[in-house]
Structure 1
Amino acid sequence: MSDPVIAQTSPYRVDLEEGEKYAYCTCGLSDKQPFCNGAHKEAGEFKPNVFIAEKTETVGLCGCKRTGNEPRCDGTHKSL
């Protein structure tokens, strides 16, 4: 499996709404970061991480695509 593209080396701060469905980009190619726009289809092996927000909150979603806590940022970008 190839590595995803690093979209940015910091988290994306986003407002999530409880009960809403989101598709987090895992390939790094989407022009709608941090969300999927279907660009992974050209990248081959990647699929979006689809999740439903458990509560309304502002979160940091991973921009480097290397987190161990996908889709949330875990600070991995600091070591890139």
Structure 2
Amino acid sequence: MSEQQLPAVAQKAPFAVEVTEGKTYWWCACGLSKKQPFCDGSHKGSGLSPVSWTAEKDGKAWFCGCKQTGKSPLCDGAHKGL
């Protein structure tokens, strides 16, 4: 078993994504995915796992890009302190 690593900062701003009510999204928590802000399996061996999130309504959601949020997978402004 590998030791958990710190996530990589994908970008120092949130990702604005149009989401669909009832659809589940898998947010990349490791920062290594090439399909940001969503998981592409790049976390394997990092000790980090993607976070599932289901949209409660249609519209725009702001997914964390810095991977430092306290309310994953959504942005809480933590990128402002980087």
Q: Could you say which TM-score interval applies, normalised by the shorter chain?
A: over 0.9
- Provide runs of 4+ in structure 1 moved above 6 Å: none
- State the one-letter code of the partner of 2:17: V
Larger helix proportion of the pair: 1
Give the secondary structure class of the aligned counterpart of 1:14: strand
Shift of 1:52: 1.3
Counterpart Cα distance in 1 of 2:22 and 2:16: 18
1:1-80 alignment, distance < 5 Å: 1-43=4-46, 45-80=47-82
Counterpart Cα distance in 2 of 1:2 and 1:39: 13
Question: Which deviations, in whole Å up to 9, do the C-alpha atoms of 1:36-75 show, x marking residues without a partner?
Answer: 00000132x1111012111111011100000001011011
Provide the aligned C-alpha RMSD in A: 0.9
Q: Number of residue pairs matched?
A: 79
Q: Any gaps of 5 or more consecutive residues in structure 2?
A: none
Q: Any gaps of 5 or more consecutive residues in structure 1?
A: none
- State the one-letter code of the partner of 1:56: D
Give the secondary structure class of the aligned counterpart of 2:45: helix
CA contact (8 A) 2:37 2:64 kept: yes
